[in-house]
Structure formats: structure tokens, C-alpha cells
């Protein structure tokens, strides 16, 4: 195994904190991965990883070697492609919420894969808080304003938000005409990762954003469950319009307080600050910009 291949193995072990997981993701025997790291440490003359029976963790030298390795590998890939005219290839792991993927990414995905047939794309459907470095994820697609400090974020789009409720809920509680009419109403609470309280509702009143928290019969941390709870008449919710377009057309949900909309929600493509942007991620960003403009 040459030096660059050994670096690739090392970066994968570093990111996944596991010899077994790294071997599986690289389609290599675990013994090959173990031997590659052993020889790499002998070559550089320092211990890069601490191994225990339960986990693998980098040393301080290992942290520094990882940063240098990912930058060298990215530069090598870019140099090879520049002179050979080769298209990007390899695995591209993307974390994205399923509804966002189905609405924006999948319709034009065939065109992307046809243009870059050597990219092996894996879409992980989740809206949880992820650790891209440890989990070996190349980039994360998220909707919202909260951005992790250790991630580089590129805004791709801005999504219109709406306030909606089920007709059955509005029959019981009445249809508010102004946010001040919401006394006595309920919302379905939506809690994001690491939040002890549900997000308040937002309304634009006289060009100012006002926040309002209503009593909750139920709180959820999944967008799919949030919509289903609203369909069942459990309260008012706010979310990007594309998410409930079909429900609005079918009259399962109804827009309310349209004259007082929430702020639009930005869509970000994020990748670890410690990792140089690879050519695979760059062409994927170009594809996403077109997907969100369609």
C-alpha cells in the first residue's frame, strides 16, 4: 500500500474511530487496515492512534497528521483531475432529511449520476445532530438558522414558511385573524436537538418578528410526526410550505395567519471545517444549486 493509500485508510479510521467500521466502508479486510496503520506509524515515527478494546482515539500527533492528510489528499485528487481531465469518483456520503431529499434532490438526481457515473452516492435520511468527522459523512443538508461552529456552511436557498392547522382543529378553536387572537389555541411543539423547550411560533407583525409560545398537548422532534399531529387536529404548526403542499391541496391542512408569515428558512450545505472541500462535494454543490432553483 503506497503512502497516499495509507493516508486514506488513516483518515477513515480517524473519522469513524473504528478499525472495523473503516475497513467495512473501504471494502478492505480489517487486517489490511490494521497493518496499514501500523506501517504508517512506523514510517512517520510517532503514535497516531490510541487503541483500547472499546474505542480508537487520536493522539495530538494523530490530530495534526489527520489535518495534513486530508488537505494533501484533496490537493492530490484535484491535481490528478486537472491534468487527466478525469471526473470525480468515489463514495459521497450526504446526510439529509428525507422530505427535503424527495422534494428537491431526487427529481434531478438521475442527471447528476449520469454526468458523474463514478460517484457512489449514499443519502442518509435523518434530521438528527450528526458528527460528520466521526461518522464519515462528507456533507450535511439542513434547514434552519442554527449553524455548528465546526462546520462550513453554504446557503443554497430560502424556503417559504407557513402556519397551518387541520380543519377539525379550526372548527373547535376558531380561525385566528391576527396573532393576538391565539389566546386559547394550542400548538404542536417541535423540539430540535439539545433543546429542552419547543420552538416558539414566529409572526411578522408590522415588519417585526414576534415570537409566541402556545400550550402544547404533544411535543415531537420529527418533521414527519409534526405534520401528522397537525393532520389529526392536535394544534397549529409552522414549517416550510413544500412540506405540506399536498396536504393543503387535499384540504387536510389549512393555512392561517397568511398576512403574518414566519421568517423564511435558509437551506445550508455544511461540511467539516477541518476537511478540505473535495471535488465530489464541489460538483454536488453545483447540482444542489440547480435543484433548488428548479
CATH of the domain at 277: 3.40.190.10
148 and 289 housed in the same domain: yes
Pick the last residue of a domain from 34, 50, 84. 84
pLDDT, mean of residues 263-289: 83
Structurally, how many domains does the chain consist of?
A: 3
16 and 101 housed in the same domain: no
For 113-159, the pLDDT digits (tens) are 999 998 888 888 766 666 665 666 788 888 877 667 777 888 888 99
For 10-21, the pLDDT digits (tens) are 988 888 888 988
**Residue 265, number of CB atoms within 10 A of its CB:** 19
222 and 287 housed in the same domain: no
pTM: 0.69
For 44-102, the pLDDT digits (tens) are 999 999 987 778 889 989 888 988 888 788 777 777 766 666 677 777 888 888 788 88
Crossing angle of helices 3-16 and 30-44, rounded to 10°: 110
Beta strands in 131-215, from DSSP E residues, in sequence order: 139-143, 151-159, 161-165, 187-190, 201-205, 208-212
Pick the last residue of a domain from 45, 61, 84. 84
CA dihedral 149, 204, 230, 253 (to 10 degrees): -130
Q: What share of the chain is helix, strand, coil (3-state, %, to 5)?
A: 45, 25, 30
53 and 178 housed in the same domain: no
148 and 283 housed in the same domain: yes
Look up the domain containing 115 and give its range: 90-156+266-293
Amino acid at each position: 500500500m503506497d503512502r497516499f493509500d495509507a493516508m486514506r485508510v488513516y483518515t477513515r479510521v480517524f473519522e469513524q474511530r473504528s478499525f472495523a467500521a473503516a475497513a467495512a466502508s473501504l471494502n478492505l479486510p480489517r487486517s489490511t487496515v490494521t497493518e496499514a496503520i501500523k506501517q504508517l506509524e512506523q514510517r512517520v515515527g510517532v503514535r497516531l492512534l490510541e487503541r483500547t478494546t472499546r474505542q480508537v482515539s487520536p493522539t495530538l500527533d494523530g490530530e495534526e497528521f489527520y489535518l495534513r492528510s486530508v488537505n494533501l489528499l484533496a490537493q492530490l485528487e484535484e491535481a490528478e483531475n486537472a491534468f487527466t481531465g478525469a471526473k470525480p469518483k468515489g463514495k459521497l456520503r450526504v446526510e439529509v432529511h428525507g422530505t427535503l431529499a424527495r422534494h428537491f434532490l431526487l427529481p434531478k438526481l438521475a442527471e447528476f449520476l449520469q454526468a458523474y457515473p463514478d460517484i457512489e452516492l449514499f443519502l442518509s435520511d435523518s434530521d438528527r445532530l450528526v458528527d460528520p468527522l466521526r461518522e464519515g459523512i462528507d456533507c450535511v443538508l439542513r434547514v434552519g438558522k442554527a449553524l455548528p461552529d465546526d462546520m462550513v456552511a453554504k446557503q443554497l436557498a430560502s424556503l417559504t414558511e407557513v402556519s397551518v392547522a387541520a380543519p377539525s382543529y379550526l372548527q373547535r378553536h376558531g380561525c385566528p385573524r391576527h396573532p393576538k387572537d391565539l389566546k386559547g389555541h394550542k400548538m404542536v411543539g417541535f423540539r430540535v436537538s439539545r433543546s429542552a423547550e419547543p420552538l416558539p411560533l414566529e409572526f411578522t407583525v408590522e415588519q417585526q418578528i414576534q415570537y409566541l409560545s402556545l400550550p402544547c398537548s404533544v411535543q415531537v422532534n420529527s418533521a414527519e410526526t409534526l405534520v401528522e399531529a397537525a393532520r389529526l387536529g392536535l394544534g397549529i404548526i409552522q414549517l416550510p410550505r413544500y412540506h405540506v403542499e399536498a396536504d393543503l391541496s387535499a384540504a387536510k391542512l389549512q393555512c392561517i395567519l397568511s398576512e403574518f408569515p414566519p421568517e423564511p428558512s435558509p437551506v445550508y450545505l455544511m461540511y467539516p471545517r477541518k476537511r478540505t472541500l473535495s471535488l465530489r462535494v464541489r460538483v454536488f454543490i453545483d447540482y444542489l444549486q440547480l435543484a433548488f432553483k428548479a
